[in-house]
Chains A and B, each alone.
Chain A
Amino acid sequence: MRSLFAKEITSIAKKNKKVVLLSGDIGNRMFDKFKDFAPERFINCGIAEANMMSLASGMALCGLRPVIYTITPFTTTRCLEQIKIGAAYHDANLLIIGTGSGLSYSELGPTHHSLEDIAVIRSIPGIRILTPSDPEELKVHLNESLLLNGPTYIRIGKKGEPNIFSKNNNLGIGKANLLKKGSDVLIITMGPIVSEALKASNDLSGENIDVAVATIGSIKPLDKKFLIEQITRNYKYWITLEEHGLVGGLGSLILEWALENSYLSKLKLKRIAVESKFINRLGNQDYTRKILKLDSSGIKETIKKLCLN
């Protein structure tokens, strides 16, 4: 996803002269093409993320469209007050990209895990939160958010994420997508981990459990129409799946939505997310997903347990 980001932001910046790219000393060589054609609009702000966030707000208040790029914890929790005050309170037109989200940098340890970014940013008023699942969706989100007013946070993976969407999907800010139909269980997910959900769904069809898979794509704004439509389908269970902590993420969001709209009684919901604990014994993303039962076999196991009870 990060290479799609580099490519797409370069082509957007060619058309839109207001777009400025700010990096926190990462993305070695990735932005060479951007720097070649608009060196004055690329600034390596160094390893000083709080400063980078506030200066971006300043740029936005003077008419530019800054895009901030660094590793997710450093572009979110590291500078949370700068996001709250500079970006959100000022309705600044800036775009925050968190790369290597969730457990993408699993083996680098808790300093590089981002399992609370959605929770904390969701609690701040006035900031969009987008969680594209593949490069194509990221492309649409990038283009749309640079046309809207106010701040946007886009949470992306690292590299090599598979393509998920086809031409038939309805991509865009505030748009969820049903990727696979099913009648027993609905998995709602976000981000590249959708591939684990799709695999689990395929595996379970062999065991006569019919699992639908949907991606939410946009945490804020939320595709409420889509959710209401899903309610009418009377699934036995809803599952939320996220590479994020249990507290305050997608699962919490769906629960809150259901409560506020009086759907709670119609909904049997199970949240698959990372328990609120630091991960000290490390491995790569696949390993950690497996240990935490966020991988396809863990998802399968959870669904089977639900359905057989």
Chain B
Amino acid sequence: MNTDLNIIAKTLRRKIIETSFRARIAHIGSCLSCIDLLVYLYWCELKINPSESENIHRDRFILSKGHGAPGLFQVLAAKGFFPLHLLEEFGKPGSVFHEHPPKPGYIAGIEAATGSLGHGLPMALGMALAERIQKLEYRTYAMLSDGECNEGSIWEAAMLASAQKLNKLTVIIDYNKWQATSRSQKVMAIEPLSDKWKSFGWDVQEIDGHDFSQIENSFNKAREESKPSTIIAHTIKGKGVSFMEDDNNWHYRIPNADELQRSIRELEDGL
């Protein structure tokens, strides 16, 4: 199974980079760092039938780090939430496919408009409470970035989720050690991140966010917990393309033709 997931992730990495080149969309580094996690979530973890993407019992997934949307759009298309050809509109004038997810109703599978950091987790918290109040049957997931954990709203949500014992809420942190202009540890002393979440009353696991068997184990364990769970996924920004890895210029940069070819060659290797 893991080799399949690896192949899917590589294919999507390539599409993310090609789209960035063609449509001039930034945040490649941010998309490559979380794409393995997104692939695992949508292929193995989330109970969502792409052809019934509004079923009230579906699991809810919110990309709280909204600037990773170019990665999420590829995942949703590959899973059949909408026809692949819609992505040809990516970045074009008048399209709904741009750098951030729009509000629900424009792209199947998108649960909330994000892009302003710090909104997604509190919204996920509300969705988890709505499940309990209405006696529905779903789990709620929110993917955060490490820089996003600067926002006070994240910690406000963390405290309330814990007080409410929302064990069907899972947070995944794409911990790539960078935010927009600096190392996340340098800006906000984010460490000890794991202890922070623990002290807020969450179950915490730390994994390699590019290793599918560790990802699998962590989600399986999170499902058994009696508290809300955080999976701190250690990742590499720009993962999968040697010259983008851990180089934060790829937060904003768009590849030129040569860089596009070089990244495609690297990603074809081993397919």
Q: Which residues in A have some Cβ–Cβ distance to B below 8 Å?
A: 23, 25-29, 44, 46-48, 50-51, 73-74, 78, 107-112, 278, 280-284, 287, 291
Known: A48-B150, A107-B99. A28 touches B116 (CB 8 A): no
Instruction: Choose one: A26, A50, A112, A291; the contact of B180 (CB below 8 Å).
Output: A26
Q: What is the minimal beta-carbon distance from B251 to any residue of chain A, in angstroms?
A: 8
Q: Mark B111-124, 1 if CB is under 8 A from A, else 0.
A: 00111111000000
Interface size on B, residues (CB 8 A): 32
Decide: A47 and B118 in contact? CB cutoff 8 A.
yes
Decide: B116 and A111 in contact? CB cutoff 8 A.
yes
Decide: A111 and B66 in contact? CB cutoff 8 A.
yes
User: In the complex, which residues of chain A have a beta carbon less than 8 angstroms from the beta carbon of B100?
Assistant: 108-109, 111-112
Decide: A282 and B98 in contact? CB cutoff 8 A.
yes
Confirm or deny: B151 has a beta carbon within 8 angstroms of a beta carbon on chain A: yes
Instruction: Choose one: A26, A47, A78, A110; the contact of B113 (CB below 8 Å).
Output: A110
User: In the complex, which residues of chain B have a beta carbon less than 8 angstroms from the beta carbon of A110?
Assistant: 113
Confirm or deny: B102 has a beta carbon within 8 angstroms of a beta carbon on chain A: yes
- The 9 tightest CB contacts between A and B, nearest first, are A283-B93, A111-B115, A46-B150, A47-B150, A111-B116, A287-B93, A48-B150, A46-B187, A28-B181
Confirm or deny: B192 has a beta carbon within 8 angstroms of a beta carbon on chain A: no
B225-254 CB contacts (< 8 Å) to partner A:
251-252
Decide: A47 and B96 in contact? CB cutoff 8 A.
no
State in angstroms the CA–CA spacing of A266 and B94 once bound together: 40
> Nearest CB to that of A28 among chain B residues?
B181
Q: Which of A28, A48, A51, A283 has the most CB of B within 10 A?
A: A48
User: In the complex, which residues of chain B have a beta carbon less than 8 angstroms from the beta carbon of A46?
Assistant: 147, 150, 179, 187-188
Q: Which of A51, A110, A111 has the most CB of B within 10 A?
A: A111
Q: Which secondary structure dominates chain B's binding surface?
A: loop
> Nearest CB to that of A25 among chain B residues?
B180
User: In the complex, which residues of chain A have a beta carbon less than 8 angstroms from the beta carbon of B94?
Assistant: 281-283, 287, 291
Decide: B151 and A48 in contact? CB cutoff 8 A.
yes
Instruction: Choose one: B66, B96, B251; the contact of A281 (CB below 8 Å).
Output: B96
Q: What is the minimal beta-carbon distance from A38 to any residue of chain B, in angstroms?
A: 17
Decide: B115 and A112 in contact? CB cutoff 8 A.
yes
State in angstroms the CA–CA spacing of A287 and B103 once bound together: 21
Decide: A50 and B152 in contact? CB cutoff 8 A.
yes
> Nearest CB to that of B117 among chain A residues?
A47
Known: A44-B181, A281-B94. A109 touches B152 (CB 8 A): no
Instruction: Choose one: A26, A47, A282; the contact of B95 (CB below 8 Å).
Output: A282
> Nearest CB to that of A108 among chain B residues?
B99
| Other A-B pairs, 5, CB within 8 Å; known A280-B103, A283-B95 | A46-B150, A48-B151, A73-B116, A107-B98, A281-B95
> Nearest CB to that of B146 among chain A residues?
A47
Q: Which residues in B have some Cβ–Cβ distance to A below 8 Å?
A: 66, 91-96, 98-100, 102-103, 106, 113-118, 147-148, 150-152, 179-182, 187-188, 251-252
Q: What is the minimal beta-carbon distance from A253 to any residue of chain B, in angstroms?
A: 27
> Nearest CB to that of B26 among chain A residues?
A108
Q: What is the minimal beta-carbon distance from A151 to any residue of chain B, in angstroms?
A: 22
Q: What is the minimal beta-carbon distance from A117 to any residue of chain B, in angstroms?
A: 14
Decide: A109 and B93 in contact? CB cutoff 8 A.
no
> Nearest CB to that of A291 among chain B residues?
B94
State in angstroms the CA–CA spacing of A109 and B102 once bound together: 7
State in angstroms the CA–CA spacing of A283 and B96 once bound together: 9
State in angstroms the CA–CA spacing of A51 and B252 once bound together: 25
Known: A107-B98, A111-B113, A280-B102. A23 touches B93 (CB 8 A): no
Decide: A28 and B180 in contact? CB cutoff 8 A.
yes
Decide: B114 and A111 in contact? CB cutoff 8 A.
yes
State in angstroms the CA–CA spacing of A163 and B43 once bound together: 53
Decide: A25 and B147 in contact? CB cutoff 8 A.
yes
User: In the complex, which residues of chain B have a beta carbon less than 8 angstroms from the beta carbon of A108?
Assistant: 98-100, 115
User: In the complex, which residues of chain B have a beta carbon less than 8 angstroms from the beta carbon of A109?
Assistant: 98-100, 102, 113, 115
State in angstroms the CA–CA spacing of A111 and B64 once bound together: 13
Decide: A47 and B147 in contact? CB cutoff 8 A.
yes
A-B contact pairs, 24 of them (CB 8 A): A25-B150, A25-B179, A25-B180, A25-B182, A28-B180, A44-B182, A46-B150, A47-B150, A47-B179, A48-B151, A107-B91, A108-B100, A109-B99, A109-B100, A109-B115, A111-B100, A111-B113, A112-B100, A112-B115, A280-B102, A281-B96, A283-B94, A287-B94, A291-B94
Decide: A25 and B152 in contact? CB cutoff 8 A.
no
User: In the complex, which residues of chain B have a beta carbon less than 8 angstroms from the beta carbon of A282?
Assistant: 93-96, 98
User: In the complex, which residues of chain B have a beta carbon less than 8 angstroms from the beta carbon of A281?
Assistant: 94-96
Decide: B150 and A284 in contact? CB cutoff 8 A.
no
State in angstroms the CA–CA spacing of A37 and B95 once bound together: 44
Q: Which of B114, B117, B182 has the most CB of A within 10 A?
A: B117
User: In the complex, which residues of chain A have a beta carbon less than 8 angstroms from the beta carbon of B98?
Assistant: 107-109, 282
User: In the complex, which residues of chain B have a beta carbon less than 8 angstroms from the beta carbon of A73?
Assistant: 116
State in angstroms the CA–CA spacing of A284 and B94 once bound together: 9
Q: What is the minimal beta-carbon distance from B171 to any residue of chain A, in angstroms?
A: 17
Q: Which of B95, B116, B179, B180 has the most CB of A within 10 A?
A: B116
> Nearest CB to that of A43 among chain B residues?
B187
